[in-house]
């Protein structure tokens, strides 16, 4: 296991004014030469329902469902209708100033580039 994910957990946040219950979104996490990629399934969450915060080398992903409420009675319910929350500890090599996020059809794509200093560089040997 690498340093990035020594800790990956989503303890329920201390309740704010009103209690929101969260579930953990399914994620894929990859590392490549450039950095890390996190993909998180958050169906029903639009760009506006997304909160990403960075503190103490931890990145917190929160998504609130914003899809419209359907009139009528529910005959069958499986969708949780809750928020999504998941926390990752960042590898120190990640450059916090270059983290970018985009939302596409309920999937969050988070790109966490490594800082230039730690990327492997080819040293050209002079004659």
Residues lying near another protein in the complex (CB under 8 A)? 1-2, 4-6, 8-10, 24, 26-33, 37, 39, 41-46, 66-67, 70-80, 103-107, 109
Tokens 């949780």 -> residue: 80
The two tokens of residue 124 are: 């050209």
In which residue are the tokens 């998941």 written?
A: 86
What's the min distance (Å) between Cβ of 1 and another protein? 5
Q: Which is nearer to another protein, 4 or 62 (CB)?
A: 4
d(CA 100, CA 73): 40
Q: Least distance to another protein from the beta carbon of 12, Å?
A: 10
Least separation in angstroms between CB 115 and another protein: 18
How far is residue 64's CA from residue 46's CA, in Å, rounded to a whole number? 8
């Amino acid at each position: 296991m690498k340093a990035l994910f020594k800790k990956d957990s989503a303890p329920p946040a201390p309740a704010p004014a009103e209690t929101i219950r969260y579930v953990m979104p399914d994620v894929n996490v990859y590392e490549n030469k450039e950095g890390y990629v996190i993909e998180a399934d958050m169906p029903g969450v639009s760009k506006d329902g997304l909160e990403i915060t960075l503190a103490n080398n931890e990145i917190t992903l929160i998504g609130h469902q914003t899809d419209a409420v359907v009139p009528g009675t529910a005959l069958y319910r499986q969708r949780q209708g809750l928020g999504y929350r998941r926390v990752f500890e960042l590898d120190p090599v990640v450059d916090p100033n270059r983290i970018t996020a985009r939302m596409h059809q309920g999937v969050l794509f988070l790109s966490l580039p490594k800082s230039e200093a730690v990327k492997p560089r080819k040293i050209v040997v002079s004659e």
